[in-house]
Structure 1
Amino acid sequence: MTTIRQLFIDEAKFGKGTAKGPWFGELPVPRGGDFDFAFISDRTGGAVHKMFEKGLEAAKKLNPDFVVSIGDLVEGYWTDEAEAREEWDRIDPMLAGLGVPVFQTVGNHDYGTEAMIRVWRERKGVDYYAFRYGRTLFLVANTETAPLSLPETMLELMQQANRALIRNPEALFVDLFRDLAGDGFSADVLKMTEDTLIDPHLSGEQIDFFERVLADNADVDWTFVCLHQPAWKKPDPIFERLESLLADRPYTVVSGHVHYLEVTEKRGRQYIQMGKTGGLHCFEGKGDIHHILSVKMRGGVPRFEVILLEGEGGTDTLDAYVKKAAESR
């Protein structure tokens, strides 16, 4: 048994002794080898009224040692720093008041413009980090180092729709967007495919940092890699370098972004693309669900359970969402 609990910061980039970070609360002292935690996924892209709050409450009821957010907690894409701050002022108290430590992964909505990046750094400091809890290691990456390039007209429409959604949170984002776009609206504008939606950008400096952390924590039983975008779905030598560093250890990769729960089995490991925790409907199929993910570490190995948030709720197995080779959406 080990009682190690430690945060790792890239001091070469962020400096020593930084007090700021994208987390709320402090990790409890590990009680022994076994512990529980939960993943929450995307809230945004047009948040469904009160669904994220329902997800937080469901996570709290699990009595976990901590919660990990996989990104996209604010609608974001603001070009005005004041609007970015105001939105974080509404979301951060939810996380701080949960009564359970929360660790954030940065998402494209959180970090998608120069103004959003400045506000993130001002409030939360670091955009990638790692932490260890007992004999489990967490690498929390930033897949958004190159902000998405959006036409100014699209960016302004998104901001107008976001403002309208803040005023009327029970409205549907698509309806607001359609009303604002007027006669020029085409539903095709909001249609997405994985090919156009997924565009991760990690950085070499992150992998350098994770390489040092992995070397210093070679004794852990399991490693989790937390990404916002599912970087394994696009050829990326930077992510492939991270995979090579993990090759000789048990690990699980968890992402969000696509709003569709799907598990890819690769290299004998599970790569989990979470659905949504209040975010916009994007794709049809079994994985189009609002949920959180319960993780029970038992004997150094994770056991997953999908906690459903819609209708009567309930649970499901993660195996039900494993992508078979012939499957397509």
Structure 2
Amino acid sequence: MKFYLFCIYIFILIANPLIGQKYKFIVWGDSQFQNPETFERIVHETELLKPDFVLHVGDMIHGYTYNVNAARKQWVKFRKQIEPLTVPFYPTPGNHDITTKEIQPTYLETWGEDKLYYSFDYLSNHFIVLNAFHNQNFDSVSMEQFSWLKKDLEKNKSSHNIFVTIHSPLHLNRGFDWSYVHNLLKQYPVRAVFTGHYHYYDYRKIDEIEYFCLNSSGNMKLYNSYIGYFHHFLQVSVDGNNIDYAVVGDGKIFSKDFVSVTERERAQKFFNENSTIILSSASPGKTELSYILENHSNEVINYSASWETEDYSWRFEPWGYNIILPPNEKKELRFKYELPKEIDKSNLPKLKIESPYTTSTGILTSAKHYANMFIPPTRTVKNVNAKITFDGNVEEKIWEESLIIDNLFVNKKMKHEIDKTRVSMFYDDENIYVGVFGSEPKPENLSAFAYGDIPLVFGDDDFELYFDTNRDMKTFFRLMVNPKGTVLSSSPKGRFTFNFDVKTFIGKDFWSAEFIIPFKELETSKPNIGDAWGFNVRRHRQQAEDIQSDWSKMANHPPYEPEYFGIIIFE
């Protein structure tokens, strides 16, 4: 009898080889050291779920550097982050991981020489990892790789399920024709394509292939799981030909299609990005401030606005508002407040603005954003008619007399940089002049490798200047230079759209730069006495433990935050 049952079992296995082909894997989205506590929590949650293996869709480190040692340190840091994982891990190269040809070898050192694009098998399933940045060609699938893909698919056409990862969601990219890749994939048993890069959740089904866009801990301007802006990972459960997907995040488990394709677009009119409320004075005493609340939607919205603070020596009158605002209208919210005698500028009150939001599927949630109180650092700039020896060396007396900044900060808790940065500035009828001095104990180790049509100067040692000439806290001019004098600049019109002169100098224990910037290139004229501009300075020092420092601390990674620039006032 036992032998008879055994024969039946063997017959069933032969007839249906998918029996016993049951497993699960986890897919992580972008991490790149943004919100590391969130990513590390996801690592621990993944380990608790005990998947058979983990896929990462790319952007594991910050990258964007030419410095090999800096990249190696980042990979050590990432490996430390995923150390709790006890199952196999399969990486996908993202733009942050292999930005430059100089650091690409560190990716291969970490994961293996064959890991730029590759494939592997698990049971009777096949997995393909593509590279959207092969040979530093961004957001594309190279012909070399496409040829390999065709051969790999044909070789594995008998697989029961095929899954693909690629960092960029090229199926959503209007600048790339994904159709020829998609048309190839649909000829084979490709079930899903996993992507990231855009820092939100997106799901759609095209010709029976399911496409996912994931974000595990990358920065976002908005945050609400019901509109796809939240940190999450994907659990994929495979049982033969049956495949189930669960989106895990915010302490909840969602179905794969819980956010419709149109929900995120619709929500843009109801959800606002965080903003700032600029305080003109930090002197103790009673004063007033206002905030403009706008309803960008086509519906009547009931808003609540209330102050949040950990320091209740702050006094606000009123403490909050309830406002019903018709479509496309705005209202000024006015508050009287009293500043405490002692102020912690790194932990100021914030105004929470909240309103109910019902998704297109009928789920009631809330649209919430904050207006963060901010006291910008302020300096005055002198009008001086003086000539400089334009050689990059800022040791002339005029630079000492026009010093406006003598220290930068590495975080929002106002921790000072170790090796000092000094910034001097003055102006005349035609130009604004800026001199930057950076202490550097080992100038022989300065990083200055940027090259190409878009040199990644911020990946080297560099000085960066930001000017918001009309103080709209949205548009600005950006100037960067590395020790070799390589420049990257941008304006509201795009990269390299305005002209200025800059020279650099490397000394015994420092390096410095002199900038001459015509007002006309900043699309303005000579400022009047009392005029104010938004301004900021950033420095990257690759030999430091804290590589990045700012005068007025803004986000460590783009998008930049002109609302957190300091202020320069022209004398």
Q: 2:25 aligns with which of 37, 41, 47?
A: 37
Distance 1:90 1:31 in 2: 41
Per-residue displacement from partner, 1:181-221 (whole Å, max 9, x unpaired)? xxxxxxxxxxxxxxxxxx61221111211211111111122
Distance 1:131 1:239, change over 3 A: farther
Distance 2:228 2:53 in 1: 25
Distance 2:116 2:191 in 1: 22
Distance 1:64 1:326, change over 3 A: closer
* Structure ID, larger Rg: 2
**Aligned with 2:103: secondary structure?**
helix
Corresponding position of 1:201? 140
Distance 1:236 1:327, change over 3 A: closer
Q: Contact 2:228 / 2:264 at 8 angstroms: preserved in 1?
A: no
> Does structure 1 residue 226 correspond to structure 2 residue 214?
no
The amino acid across from 2:93 in the alignment is V
**Aligned with 1:47: secondary structure?**
coil
Corresponding position of 2:202? 262
Corresponding position of 1:76? 63
Instruction: Tell me the CA shift for residue 127 of structure 1.
Output: 0.6
- Structure showing the higher helix proportion among its residues: 1
Instruction: Tell me the CA shift for residue 85 of structure 1.
Output: 0.5
The amino acid across from 1:323 in the alignment is V
Distance 1:84 1:229, change over 3 A: same
Corresponding position of 1:159? none
**Aligned with 2:134: secondary structure?**
coil
Distance 2:196 2:265 in 1: 19
**Root mean square deviation, CA, Å:** 2.5
Distance 1:233 1:283, change over 3 A: farther
Q: 1:291 aligns with which of 225, 232, 249?
A: 232
Equivalences for residues 296-307 of structure 1 within 5 A: 296-307=237-248
Distance 1:127 1:76, change over 3 A: same
Corresponding position of 1:25? none
Task: Structure 2: state its 5+ residue gaps.
Answer: 1-12, 269-571
Distance 2:234 2:264 in 1: 25
Per-residue displacement from partner, 1:111-160 (whole Å, max 9, x unpaired)? 11232223223433231001111222111000112548xxxxxxxxxxxx
Instruction: Tell me the CA shift for residue 230 of structure 1.
Output: 0.2
Larger relative contact order, structure 1 or 2 (CA cutoff 8 Å, min sep 6):
1
> Does structure 1 residue 134 correspond to structure 2 residue 123?
yes
- Structure showing the higher strand proportion among its residues: 2
Distance 2:123 2:247 in 1: 24
Distance 2:147 2:83 in 1: 31
Distance 1:320 1:85 in 2: 39
Per-residue displacement from partner, 1:234-264 (whole Å, max 9, x unpaired)? 2577743322222233421110011100112
Distance 1:238 1:281 in 2: 27
Corresponding position of 2:103? 116
Instruction: Tell me the CA shift for residue 326 of structure 1.
Output: 9.8
Corresponding position of 2:42? 55
The amino acid across from 1:128 in the alignment is Y
**Aligned with 1:82: secondary structure?**
helix
Instruction: Tell me the CA shift for residue 327 of structure 1.
Output: 4.4
Q: Contact 1:265 / 1:322 at 8 angstroms: preserved in 2?
A: no
Distance 1:251 1:202 in 2: 19
Q: 1:102 aligns with which of 76, 82, 89?
A: 89
Worse-superposed segment, 239-248 or 319-328: 319-328
Distance 1:259 1:326, change over 3 A: closer
Distance 1:72 1:224, change over 3 A: same
Distance 2:19 2:55 in 1: 19
Distance 1:70 1:135, change over 3 A: same
Distance 2:159 2:262 in 1: 30
Q: Contact 1:281 / 1:288 at 8 angstroms: preserved in 2?
A: yes
Distance 1:99 1:51 in 2: 19
- Identity within the alignment, %: 25
Instruction: Tell me the CA shift for residue 101 of structure 1.
Output: 0.6
The amino acid across from 1:104 in the alignment is P
Instruction: Tell me the CA shift for residue 80 of structure 1.
Output: 1.0
Distance 2:23 2:235 in 1: 11
**Aligned with 2:193: secondary structure?**
strand
